[in-house]
A = this chain, B = another copy of it.
Amino acid sequence: MAITIYDVAREANVSMATVSRVLNGNPNVKPDTRRRVKEVIKRLNYKPNAVARGLASKKTKTIGVIIPDVSDLYYSAILKGLEDISEMYQYQIIISNTDNDGNKELKAFETLSSNQVDGIILLGGSLDEATHEVIEQYDNPIVMCGYSKRETMSTVNINYPDAIGEVVRGMIDRGRKQFVYVKSGYHSFLEDALGERIQKELEENGVNTKVDTYNAVTYEEGIELYERLVGSDVDAVISISDEVAGGILHGTLDHNVEVPKDLEVLSCSNTRIAYMMRPQLSTIAVPLYDIGAVGMRLLTKLMNKEETEITHVELPYKINYSETTL
């Protein structure tokens, strides 16, 4: 059995209340007593039991992170930002995988909630209406690193529609006419909006074609997708995922298609994969780490009630014109 606060109290000839005060930095302790207690704590190598503390104080110093897939570089880069800041504020992180499955997301939420986390960070956008309804009943802070359908949730992200608008206009300026848009299919709220934005930019800039839309999430699917595009007059591909963009890119290598002359490819993510490709992928330079860091910082404010309003943080982005665009 581990050392408890009682052991420390006994050893230091004080009550457990005093030990607790020392532990929590309560100023109402005589300096000498404080010193004595601290000495005993150190000598016994006493570590407070965080579970008991959580039960008594209703604060667990733990947050939950709901994430579609930790092994996806896009999300793990955000997670890294979350982690660094949460460490700074001494919060533990419980992660919950969803695999982009609405049911799992809901279950993750409930489990975290029963674990009394002090706040929750949602990555990738919530899927179901059901989840949204449950979430709105929740009385601890939630921050979504991504887009939310509902205005009632604090979010941190970049302005994807604007970014993609800028990208499309650039491509049009460079003479591109036939666009393909590849989305994941998991975040329809945002992804459909982006597809519409592309079409809108075409129309407003006098390009009289229809965007073709596909779903793909893996590198292999990107390669396969390109096989289907061979021989068409597509001259611009915008892909949400850079793994998919990479697959498409490598698909062209096998068909004597010159990138970017014959085909421009641009990805809306920018994980490390993008610059490890040859040719190097052009991307929307989403500040993934910062999204996580800012999201976590926002959550700490919300948890401390320093900030009470719902906020929508929009981080700056750049378009990273690399080797797959002219």
Looking at A70, A219, A275, the one whose CB has the most chain B CB atoms below 10 A away is: A70
Quick check: A272 and B83 within 8 Å, CB to CB?
Answer: no
> Interface digits, A76-97 against B, CB 8 Å rule (1 contact, 0 not)?
1101100110010000111111
Q: Is A310 an interface residue (CB 8 A)?
A: no
Evaluate contact between B114 and A50: CB separation under 8 angstroms: yes
Flag whether A318 is at the interface (Cβ < 8 A). no
CB-CB under 8 A from A73, the residues of chain B are 71, 73, 76
Q: Which of B97, B110, B116 contacts A51 (CB 8 A)?
A: B116
Cross-chain contact B70 with A97 (CB below 8 angstroms): no
Contact B110 A47 (CB under 8 A): yes
Q: Which of A54-62, A162-170, A178-186, A231-239 contacts B (4 or more CB under 8 A)?
A: A54-62
- Size class of the A contact interface (CB-based, 8 Å): 35 or more
Q: How many copies of this kind of chain does the complex include?
A: 2
Q: Chain B contacts of A60 at CB under 8 A? A: 51
Chain B residues near A83 (CB-CB < 8 A):
70, 95, 97
Q: Are B276 and A278 in contact (CB under 8 A)?
A: no
Is A111 part of the binding interface, using a Cβ–Cβ cutoff of 8 Å? yes
Q: Is A311 interfacial (CB-CB < 8 Å)? A: no
How far is it, in angstroms, between the C-alpha of A278 and the C-alpha of B52 when the chains are bound?
54
Among B48, B84, B110, B243, point to the contact of A276 (Cβ < 8 A).
B243
Residues of chain A touching chain B, judged by Cβ–Cβ distance below 8 Å, are 47-52, 54-55, 60, 62, 69-71, 73, 76-77, 79-80, 83-84, 87, 92-97, 110-111, 113-116, 219, 243, 246-247, 250, 253, 272-273, 275-278
